[in-house]
Amino acid sequence: MKILLLGSGELGKEFTIAAQRIGQIVIAVDSYKNAPAMQVAHDFEVINMLDGEALDMIVAKHQPDFIVPEIEAIRTERFYDYEKQGITVVPSAKAANYTMNRKAIRDLASKELGLKTANYCYATTATELYEGVKAVGMPCIVKPLMSSSGKGQSTIKTVADIEKAWKYAVDGSRGDIIEVIVEAFVKFHSEITLLTVVQNNNPTLFCAPIGHRQERGDYIESWQPARISDKDLYEAQDMAEKVTEALGGAGLFGVEFFLADDGVYFSELSPRPHDTGMVTLAGTQNFNEFELHLRAILSLPISEITLEKAGASAVILASENSFHPSYLGVEKIAALSKTDFRIFGKPTARPFRRMGVALTHDSLDTAIETVVERAIKAAHLVTVKS
């Protein structure tokens, strides 16, 4: 099969490697040359994926069997036409369009499916943002409708924060939609990602829940399994199955939840492998999240997902701008037991850009805090230099 991968970052790179291992053809697409997935794909294209005509041209050129989006900044409304042409959009054109825009997915979850979410509203101007903050109360979270990796996300604690939050959200927005979502702050005690695998002709499966910690709206560490009560896990699985069924298609979805004293809150959903799911590269499961996504897309039956180990991931961040980054300390992390790492191969670096990840694992009876601490220490051994 021929797969057109739209977005070629670190998640796309691991997906491409999984596809190569079982003989699939991948064309990696992004807005810049030498993106991570391009380094391992059969072919690549460099275009602005918000340019619908450019997107149409590469689809016509390559005639893929599958279109697999990896990022948000894509002219996703074109996907409906591609489906009419007989191309499979992963997971579906509807799923890609709804989840690339926080407004669509939040309204689907809250208004149509009745899932429990934080109180929220929208704003298209700074003035509307003031009104929205007044409506949901402070503290609250502001996010662009289209963004990823925490870009443009901030917390409003005082009235003085509102103007700054509006500008930051607009600057961090992907695409051409100038609108934000304002969310009431949920008093949660933890966050989880529930990797949900929707199959074409077999039951939906769930990975063991993944816990994670964020800074600046982006994940810093993740671990599997996360602690969660049976009641909360059942509720999260029920929500995940409802929303993925409504979106349609097959593939792996990363469904995020807040766990609070008063229950489980639906937060967000990605129709593709999730950054926090990189912990599965530590061998925590019989299949990592990229293999699961690929097998579901190709309708290869997945009989079960088994938890094999406790694992953790911690990101390796850049601290400065660089056009040719190098990595110091790799030999130190390589010398550690029950530890691995990935360097993503991004051609440029900037402060707080995710450049790699440290991975640790241990037996399932090991305290997860111990595994996470080892991952953090390992990540700190590597320095990204210009």
CB 171 within 8 Å of CB 154: no
Cα→Cα distances 202→18, 68, 208, Å: 21, 21, 19
Task: Note if 268 is an active site residue.
Answer: yes
Q: Which of 8, 16, 117, 148 is catalytic?
A: 148
Q: Which of 147, 193, 276, 284 is catalytic?
A: 276
Q: Which of 70, 72, 235, 275 is catalytic?
A: 275
Short-list 30, 32, 5, CA closest to 17: 5
Helix then strand count (H, E) for the chain reads 11, 20
Q: Please spell the DSSP secondary structure of 182-200, one letter per residue.
A: EEEPP-EEEEEEEEEEE-S
Task: Note if 56 is an active site residue.
Answer: no
Stated as kind and residue range, the H or E segment containing 162 is helix 161-172
Q: Which of 150, 283, 329, 345 is catalytic?
A: 150
Task: Note if 150 is an active site residue.
Answer: yes
Task: Note if 191 is an active site residue.
Answer: no
Q: Please spell the DSSP secondary structure of 41-107, one letter per residue.
A: SSEEEE--TT-HHHHHHHHHHH--SEEEE-SS-S-GGGHHHHHHTTPEESS-HHHHHHHTSHHHHHH
Q: Which of 45, 256, 289, 291 is catalytic?
A: 256
Quick check: helix, strand or coil at residue 128?
Answer: helix
Cα(160)–Cα(167) distance, rounded to whole angstroms?
13
Degrees, nearest 5: CA angle 44-46-47 = 135
Task: Note if 354 is an active site residue.
Answer: yes
Q: Which of 268, 319, 345, 383 is catalytic?
A: 268
Q: State both tokens at 178.
A: 């100038």
User: Which residues are marked as active site?
Assistant: 148, 150, 256, 268, 275-276, 354
